[in-house]
């Protein structure tokens, strides 16, 4: 869940933990929960105050046309570039996607890679994984493996799968895979929480009930 008051993302585990403790306001900054229609105004206010994360958020809003905004590539890129200049790794990664895809601006792979690299160096795991994919596509299997191993040791499942695939195809050693697997398991254990596991199981239950209901309705 996105919290517009402090621009943080709240996972389902934290959301469940907050509800168990009857915390209604934002558990991060204690601000009252945003009412319907207030989100965009709250983000804009933080942009006006010079908050780089708010710039990144508003840029993404313009890119996707969220919260009633019309899609605006020029504003999106300008806000994201400013946020990236101020060190927001999420802005770098999003700009990487934008220049990589070439949908809302001219495709520029070199520029995309530059943003992916900046995001990865700041600890953005998906950017790191994406660099691995790019190197794999280019046939640079050693570099692809290095990126994948780093991302996997940060707890990213897709990167672990990439390392396993490299091992199966002979581009990674048994030790590479074993070492990466240990790192992945360590990261996963470090991020694990009872509330998060409970939230995952609750979602599975709800999804299963909904699926069975829809199947019954079709009969």
Give the pairing type, strands 8-9 and 2-3.
Answer: antiparallel
Hey, what CATH class is 123-191 in? mainly alpha
Task: With a cut of 60, say whether residue 96 has pLDDT above it.
Answer: yes
Nearest in space to 62 (alpha carbons), one of 84, 42, 40: 40
pTM: predicted TM-score of the whole model, two decimal places = 0.81
pLDDT value, residue 192: 77
Distance of alpha carbon 88 from alpha carbon 134, whole angstroms:
22
3-state secondary structure of 36: coil
Hey, what CATH class is 42-122 in? mainly alpha
pLDDT-derived band at 35 (thresholds 50, 70, 90) equals confident
Q: With beta carbons less than 8 A apart as the criterion, state whether 75 and 82 touch.
A: no
Tell me the two tokens of residue 181.
Answer: 């697997």
pLDDT-derived band at 59 (thresholds 50, 70, 90) equals very high
Residues of the chain with CATH 1.25.40.10: 42-122
Convert the pLDDT of each residue in 66-81 to its tens digit: 989 999 999 999 999 9
What number is the average pLDDT over the span 80-86? 97
């Amino acid at each position: 869940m996105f919290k517009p008051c402090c621009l943080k993302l709240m996972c389902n585990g934290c959301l469940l933990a907050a509800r168990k403790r009857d915390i209604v306001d934002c558990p991060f900054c204690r601000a009252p929960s945003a009412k319907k229609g207030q989100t965009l105004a709250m983000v804009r206010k933080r942009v006006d105050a010079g908050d780089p994360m708010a710039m990144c958020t508003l840029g993404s809003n313009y890119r996707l046309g969220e919260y009633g905004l019309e899609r605006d590539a020029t504003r999106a890129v300008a806000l994201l570039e400013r946020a990236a200049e101020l060190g927001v790794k999420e802005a770098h990664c999003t700009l990487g996607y934008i220049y990589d895809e070439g949908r809302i601006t001219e495709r520029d792979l070199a520029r995309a890679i530059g943003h992916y690299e900046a995001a990865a160096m700041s600890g953005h795991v998906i950017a790191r994984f994406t660099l691995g994919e790019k190197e794999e596509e280019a046939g640079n299997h050693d570099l692809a493996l290095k990126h994948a191993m780093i991302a996997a040791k940060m707890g990213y499942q897709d990167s672990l799968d990439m390392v396993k695939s490299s091992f199966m195809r002979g581009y990674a050693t048994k030790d590479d895979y074993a070492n990466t697997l240990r790192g992945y398991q360590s990261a996963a254990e470090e991020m694990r929480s009872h509330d998060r596991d409970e939230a995952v199981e609750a979602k599975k239950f709800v999804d299963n009930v909904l699926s069975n209901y829809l199947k019954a309705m079709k009969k």
